Amino acid sequence: MSDACGCDDDKPTPADGEEEEHEPERLWEVSELRAAAVAGVLLVAGLIAGWLDAPRYVELGLQAVALAVGAWTFVPSTLRRLRRGKIGVGTLMTIAAAGAVVLGEVGEAAMLAFLYSISEGLEEYSLARTRRGLRALLALVPAEATVRRDGVERSIAPAQLRVGDVMIVRPGERIATDGIIRTGRTALDVSAITGESMPVEAQPGSTVYAGSINGTGVLDVEVTSTAEDNSLARIVRIVEAEQARKGASQRIADRIAKPLVPGIMIAAALIAAIGSMFGDPGTWIERALVVLVAASPCALAISVPVTVVAAVGAASRLGVLVKGGAALEALGTIRGVALDKTGTLTRNQPVVIDVATTAGATREQVLYVAAALEARSEHPLARAILAAVDTPQPASDVEAVTGAGLTGTVDGRSVRLGRPGWLHPGDLADTVQRMQHAGATAVLVEDDGTVIGAIAVRDELRPEAAEVVDRLRRDGYHLSMLTGDNPATATALAAQAGITDVHADLRPEDKARIIDALRARRRTAMVGDGVNDAPALATADLGIAMGAMGTDVAIETADVALMGEDLRHLPQALGHARRARAIMLQNVGLSLAIIIGLMPLALLGVLGLAAVVAVHEVAEVVIIANGVRAGRARALKPLPTPATTHTPTPAPVGVG
């Protein structure tokens, strides 16, 4: 439970030794709101009984039951907290309701309990979001691992792996824990761990991480860490620790209520004591109780939850999922934004960005041969190359050379496609180097023993990325890019987007460490979409996940999720949250002004209990109406519609 309306100090939590309740998904599942509904019905029934001139005990009985039902939502927890010497808004509400009863105003006490139970229920509902991200992490570990012990291969649970064991990892299998390749070559899909957009070539001596997917080769991997201490386990620990840190943070109303509540209680006690010394004790005790009711922060308690529910609902219409009031408040205070590259700034859809030719070949010939070899491959490079050719014709006798490339036959000629080093680039050496410095993966194409060209493939920026970055910068946000990709790729793409603060070649722990450093300078949000981003999302002041592209762990770890693939939702979400937070502050300010204005009038006897309660109720209507304004979704002016995905054809960087 969060401290959404400043009343968390009076609520039981799992830390208090109580079992955590089922998280409600609908309004009616919130017990406080069910109690408020019952109390409201009883109050209306009591009001009708009074209009119909029913016996006084009928009206009083209905009001008393309404008071009991409403008070059930906060009085028991208030008493538990008081036993531990802790007070909060619930403490003051309890005393105010008790004071109203002492003055014979049971109906007013019931109204206070009714309104406060609504605020409690709205808090609960606004924060009731389950986070199943850690389960998604566990799904990255295979159920079994093949290990060779004493010359015999056997399947065991990953938890039984020991340091020094040799795992056998076949093509397509996930790696169960961290280790070092002893024999075999392959291309590893490590996007879940590092965010690397392209498969990474691995060979004997290469380090591999739990959750990586093996490509084409059979590997012997020496285990270097147990299941309890591998990469994924470290991610889990970081997420858990950071979520616990953020769960203990204070909220706006709570920060105000902590000194306000004891101050009001002391003031009421002094009024009763000093007044009784110089005047009629009955009069001054009554005035002290009226002051206590006048100072009850009922409007303060309901001001934030109403705004939260309205703003969160409006955000969902903008395609933004905000997980509760704490997330909304935090989103409105953000001044720095760190963006992951792959799947966030980029589309995670590699495309051919350039084709360099030599030996008299044409661009079409180079792509024709490459597409023929890649026609039946599911490799990301293959999909990019095939997308650049209208009707690829599959080559015959295609064979994969692990960690190097492909060989086959096209129109009776022997052809090859592969990485520089396996194929000699010849006079394309400088061109290949420029492609790599531009952040692209370069592959060479050989036809009948002669290299005829080089193809550059790169995961391109989202069409709207540069304009979004420019908008965020104009709005005063400091921008950084964090990625597991190599520095050349990261720097090139960051320059296109307009980001100058670039951190590359990062593992999940590194991202979390850099976010921690950024947080020391300004309140920082992390925007990411993968498992590898989870620690950074949790470490940041606010985590923002790209929903449609994101993995479950990113969406569930984050505080905010952009439910579409359009990055333009990010400045929309930030602008909406800043406006909602401004409305929250207006409500809090008005609530405090009402308290400050009523207290001296109650003290001087100008206003009695009925008048004080009436002013409070009018103020609550005004505050609720103001909070509802946060439900008006203010979309930013539309940016140009992103262009349809196509294969870019920039001026070649090589010879032609």
Concerning whether 340 is annotated as a catalytic residue, the answer is yes
- Check: CB of residue 158 under 8 Å from CB of residue 145: yes
200 contact partners, CB below 8 Å, separation of at least 6: 187, 188, 190
| 100, 196, 286, 347, 489 from 282: Cα distances, Å | 15, 76, 6, 74, 79
Strand partners, 406: 400, 417
With beta carbons less than 8 A apart as the criterion, state whether 114 and 39 touch: yes
Q: Where are the alpha helices (DSSP H) in 391-532?
A: 429-437, 465-474, 487-497, 508-521
Q: Are 381 and 374 in contact (CB under 8 A)?
A: yes
Please state, in angstroms and rounded to a whole number, the distance separating the CA atoms of residues 240 and 252.
24
DSSP string covering 362-428: -HHHHHHHHHHHHTT---HHHHHHHHT-SS----EEEEEETTTEEEEEETTEEEEEE-BTTB--GGG
Closest residue by Cα to residue 525 from 243, 321, 251, 333: 333
Catalytic residue, from 189, 340, 459, 485: name it. 340
Angstrom distance (rounded) from CA 458 to CA 480: 21
3 state SS of 568: coil
Q: Look at the alpha carbons of 617, 623, 624, 625 in this order and tell me if their dihedral is positive or negative.
A: positive
Q: Is 613 in contact with 293 (CB distance < 8 Å)?
A: yes
Closest CA to 545 of 564, 532, 558, 533: 558
How many CA atoms are closer than 13 Å to the CA of 513, on its beta-carbon side? 8
Rg (CA), the chain: 32
Long-range contacts of 565-570 (CB under 8 A, 24+ apart): 565/347, 565/462, 566/319, 566/464, 566/642, 567/344, 567/345, 567/462, 567/464, 567/465, 567/468, 568/464, 568/468, 568/636, 568/638, 568/639, 569/318, 569/319, 569/320, 570/337, 570/468, 570/472, 570/527, 570/544
Task: Residue 237: name the closest of 528, 560, 550, 534 by CA.
Answer: 534
Q: Are 573 and 560 in contact (CB under 8 A)?
A: yes
Beta bridge partners of residue 351, listed in sequence order = 458
Structure tokens, 282: 């009955």
Question: What's at 469, amino acid-wise?
Answer: V
Q: Are 117 and 32 in contact (CB under 8 A)?
A: yes
CA 241 and chain centroid, separation: 15
Active site residues: 340
